[in-house]
């Protein structure tokens, strides 16, 4: 419905999709698409709508690790591979937790041929094997803990998922009901407005027809009055002649 006090250049959408007919008529969709295409060709944005915003700081949430990785990618350098050789000091590294999680196994290399008689080299190999043995022992402990407490943890996790799904479904049903109520409200408003417009249009046609009939009757009366005046004028002239 068109309103009053429109701003210059403002477009008022007065369509009533739930009431209007003829949208599926041949050529209507093509005509609408042509109007949209013409509007998009004529429309040229003349203002930067984001000019009031400050320049974004893309590095605000970067950590040192992320920054180093971005620099490596920018320099096109290969990623540092995980070393499969391990010693006792490697327990201090964070890769330990990564290995426990993904079940990697380190190598147990023997001393090289040139170090077969080197006690230090053999001692390093023994230390490495002890670290690997401890690693396997920790894995066994983790599996035992999981066998004892994993089921309950998964049950709690699944229950939380079920509650989350139920809550999301309730919110979805509320949203769908709100959309349906809004569509019904729009439909009722448009049907009411359409019926009122049709009634007003019928009244307008009736009034226009009555005005036309009145105007035609007025014209007929004016012609009759003119003819009567002419007849009276001729009669008066005839009476004047007879008097003389």
- Looking at residue 241, its pLDDT comes to 67
Low-confidence ranges of the chain (pLDDT < 50): 1-4, 87-103
Residue 185's Cβ-count burial label (10 Å; 0-12, 13-18, 19+) is exposed
Say which residues have a Cβ less than 8 Å from residue 29's Cβ, sequence separation at least 6: 23
Please check whether residue 100 is in contact with residue 138, taking contact to mean a CB–CB distance below 8 angstroms.
yes
Helix (H/G/I), strand (E/B), else coil: 8 = coil
CB contact at 8 A, 16 and 193 = yes
Listed in order, strand segments (DSSP E) in 139-231 are none
pLDDT at 26: 86
What confidence score (pLDDT) does residue 242 get?
A: 66
Q: Helices 95-102 and 119-243 sit at what angle, rounded to 10 degrees? A: 80
pLDDT value of position 87: 45
What pLDDT score was predicted for residue 150? 82
pLDDT at 107: 66
Question: How long, in residues, is the chain?
Answer: 244
Residue 3 has a pLDDT of 45
Single out the residue of 171, 87, 201, 182 nearest to residue 135, CA to CA: 87
Cβ-proximal residues to 104 (8 Å cutoff; 6+ apart), any chain:
82, 84, 98
Q: How far apart are CA 31 and CA 19, in angstroms?
A: 20
Residue 93 DSSP label: S
């Amino acid at each position: 419905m068109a309103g009053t006090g429109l701003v210059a250049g403002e477009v008022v959408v007065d369509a009533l999709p739930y009431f209007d007919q003829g949208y599926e008529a041949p050529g209507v969709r093509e005509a609408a698409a042509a109007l949209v295409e013409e509007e998009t060709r004529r429309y040229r944005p003349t203002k930067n709508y984001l000019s009031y915003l400050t320049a974004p700081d893309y590095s605000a949430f970067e950590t040192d690790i992320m920054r180093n990785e971005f620099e490596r990618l920018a320099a096109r350098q290969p990623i540092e591979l995980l070393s499969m050789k391990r010693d006792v000091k490697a327990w201090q590294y964070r890769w330990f937790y990564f290995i426990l999680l993904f079940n990697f196994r380190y190598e147990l290399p023997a001393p090289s041929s040139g170090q077969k008689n080197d006690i230090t080299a053999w001692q390093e190999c023994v230390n490495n094997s002890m670290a690997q043995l401890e690693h396997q022992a920790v894995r066994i402990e983790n599996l035992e803990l999981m066998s004892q407490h994993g089921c309950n943890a998964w049950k709690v996790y699944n229950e939380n998922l079920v509650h989350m799904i139920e809550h999301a479904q309730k919110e979805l049903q509320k949203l769908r009901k709100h959309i349906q109520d809004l569509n019904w409200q729009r439909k009722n408003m448009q049907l009411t407005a359409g019926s009122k417009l049709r009634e007003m249009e019928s009244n307008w046609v009736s009034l226009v027809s009555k005005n036309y009939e009145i105007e035609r009757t007025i014209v007929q009366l004016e012609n009759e009055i003119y003819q009567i005046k002419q007849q009276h004028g001729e009669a008066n002239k005839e009476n004047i002649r007879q008097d003389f």
